[in-house]
Amino acid sequence: MILYGIPNCDTVRKARKYLTEQGVDYTFHDFRKEPLAITTLEQWLKRQPIEVIVNKRSTGWKQLTEVQKEQLMQGKQLNLLSEIPTLIKRPVLDSDSHLIFGFKEAEYQALS
């Protein structure tokens, strides 16, 4: 199980705390320090729609041009997600059977 995110994000902290308290074994991937590979993003897109992946409330989203926004929402220009990781809803929990964007305790409990 891999938890992707940014360490100083409050929602990521909540998810990490929850997983640790539940004794869940996971690896943390800081996608600011280690940008995501395009292949990882393509795999995510096969498992979740782009609307679930992209954080339209982020500063990164607001700084994109209309053309970039349109292309990204069509599943093109995935490199933007790697270059501007705040465009991705955080945290991302990737297990064999689930790919969850954001943190809702009930969804994490369902994994147990």
* Catalytic residue from among 6, 9, 52, 99: 9
Strands 27-30 and 2-5, by their bridges, are parallel
Active site residue 9: yes
Q: How many CA atoms lie within 13 A of 31 on its CB side?
A: 26
Q: Rounded distance, CA 81 to CA 104, Å?
A: 22
Strands (E), the chain: 2-5, 27-30, 92-94, 99-101
The number of beta carbons lying within 10 Å of the beta carbon of residue 97 is 5
Catalytic residue list: 9
